[in-house]
Structure 1
Amino acid sequence: MSSMLAASLAASPVAAQVYGDGVGMWHGTWGWGHMVVGGLMMLLFWAAVIALIVLIVRWLSGSAREQRPPDRSALEILEERFARGEIEREEFEEKRRLLAGQAGAQKGR
C-alpha cells in the first residue's frame, strides 16, 4: 500500500511538469466547450448513421414511386365515377364527348 502511495506521489511532479502552468487537460481555453462540441458531434454522428440506415432500407425495398399504381386516364376515372353512380348518364356522356374532343385535338397537333 505504501509503495502505491509513493508511486502516486512520485508521479505528481511529472504531471506538474507536463501541465506546467496549471492549465491541465480539463482547464484549457475551451473550458466545458470540449464536452459540448463532443456531445454535438456524437448527435450528428448517430443522426448520420440512422439516416444512412433509413436510406439503405428504402433503396433495398424499392421507392414509393415504384409501388404506386400506374396513372389512370381521365376517361377511366370518369367511367369509374359513372359505374359507382356518382354522376348521371347525361353528365357522363357530356364529359366523355368533351374528353374525346380534347384527345382528338391533341392528336391533331
Structure 2
Amino acid sequence: MMGWYDAGWGWMGMVLMVLFWAVLIGVILWGVMRLTQRPREGTAPAPVESPRQILDRRFASGEIDEEQYAAARRALEGRSVDHTPHE
C-alpha cells in the first residue's frame, strides 16, 4: 500500500508530511508547557507596605518592644514623643 504522498506528490509530499507533524507536535508541547508552567517569582509587583504596617510587622515579629512601638506610633501619627523616663 502506498501513502498519499505517492499519489503524484513525490518527495514534496514527504516533506510536507514531516513538516505538518513537526508543527503539530511543537504546538502541543508549547500548549502543555504553557498550561503547566508556574509563574516566575518576581513577576508580580510586590505590595507596598505603609509605615504603619511596617511598624506593626516589626512589633509582631519581636524586633521592637512595646515602648519602642508606642513611641514610633506616636511619631508616625504626628504627636510628640514623650521623653520622660518610665518607671
**TM-score tier after normalising by the smaller chain length:** 0.3 to 0.5
Higher helix share: 1
Larger Rg: 1
Output the TM-score relative to the length of structure 1: 0.32
Output the TM-score relative to the length of structure 2: 0.40
